[in-house]
Chains A and B, each alone.
Chain A
């Protein structure tokens, strides 16, 4: 406890750095995954190819990815950009599947009705399919957010400022309190991100508050949460 009191400044700095690093990848992966997820859902062939690539990307362990990435990006290993790009890649790898699953969960009858009412392809996507896929997207981005916040700490091994530095520093100096502080704060940040995302989801999708959401969508979300 003493350690925390004596080091609040440093903890605060690392916390802010951590928020800054984790925030961007979550947003980026959500936005980038929409067109890719659409493409994955649109054609049978592209679905297989894209989802396989995403599966493989997600299979690459985080530390090795951060070391291999500079070859492609030209950024230094120890830069924030390197970490942000790496985390975004993981985010996309997870989120594309959710986006594709979400779009696939929209009832075909509803799509037919939308077409019958005169929606063009584009406006049908933005105004009918995407909002109805919303709950599945929400479930997906929650998973992305939690894993991004926790993965951000790995950057500390390379010397990138984040809460993970409390782990590396704590190990070197043998201070357990420091490491526990890092673990607890990381989980708290993950929870806060999660709460914010859920709130945004409630605001954007007021209809989901009425818990008569289609069973089909709910089931997709449930399997998504267990298998993701």
Chain B
């Protein structure tokens, strides 16, 4: 097999047993890898209604057919499970170097079953897999663990947040690269699995080296020629968005009560670049190199989403405080969007403007699950509900919304509402067409024409998450180039339409999983605030009838019935077998 290794390892923690199983060519053509591979395993193996923290849940780590080649931005892997934050199926992917190393060891993925009796870590050296005692590693955060294990290979691990069951705990790798959002770090913790460390020496075989070189050059040229990847992201990182998004009146401020922040310049990419000497810390095989840190202190430069949540949404205007909150989250291993949004919810609910010190203390208490941090570690939906103030939680399906106020980008509003993993911008990044005009500019303040566009972009992004390559490259590189290089690597013929169909197949399976978990069209909605309040921009509250009409149209485009259930014909067309 070319590109893929054609096998995964099943690791049974309860029985301390490992089984290596082959993956068929047909399966890989239908699901590729990454998100697609993991979603299929979780759909097939996780029974409806189980507690995500129970030993019956599984956790998948999966790379894709391009992972470990030199293909630009391909150094990624995905993690997939049932989320303790949302109760939905949940995938989350990360850069760094863990994914390629997993491929070098000879695997396309790992599926973790059961629960270890005592803390363990998994050590992989080529195809030798051992389950090892990790009692000495418990109660430690991710930087320390990564340092301690990095002599053995590339490390993916959890911090105290994952051990203690913070519902938005992350899995971290290579120090600051993170599988974020839905709490898969807490699933790992519930299995008493502290870390996975992998080392491999295998080379990924490529079917047609000459064609590969040509397509590699095509993609590299596009990335270098595009000012998005070579200049915008490379020079300022994602923090460059703060001023733009603020000017467009879609910067979440004060838990989405307002859509502009008076101190945006203070927390902007421009401010960061003029304050700190910056060093780039690129992922494996990535020429964009958007990730950055302060040169001497190695303090991570926060991403835009982190700045918007700990900054404007909590109304904190000191960039150093935001950087400290970011560092704490990375070290404890927890999601900055949900942590920031949950604290913004806490702040509104209690009618308090937090000081910088209070904010940092809350982040720490969440990571430790101590005092009020215990309640907040449940995420904003559960926290607000416990205080009879559900309307103050800014989430969809339990996942806190990221840094774009949907009232000013209505395609994104529909994207948030229909996302299979809850409030997320990365299922269909409608900021591309609605703000940047990429690939084509559309009017941001209308639902008209959005439902078709949202579902196509969702399908494309799902395919990209299955390859797995970076979505930032999509601003410069189209699906045709990805299909070309995938064909050269694997020796199988892929065209753009195949990628979109794979994306659609995986999206529909995710929908089926969620329907079995009792999610329905009622959950495809937005926080009531966005329908009732205008965020201090006159007339900008979302009109519910327009939203619902757009949602129905979206279902029609998807080939689903008016309740949002995939029809038999659609499932047959996508070669999906219904279960149960």
State whether these chains interact.
no
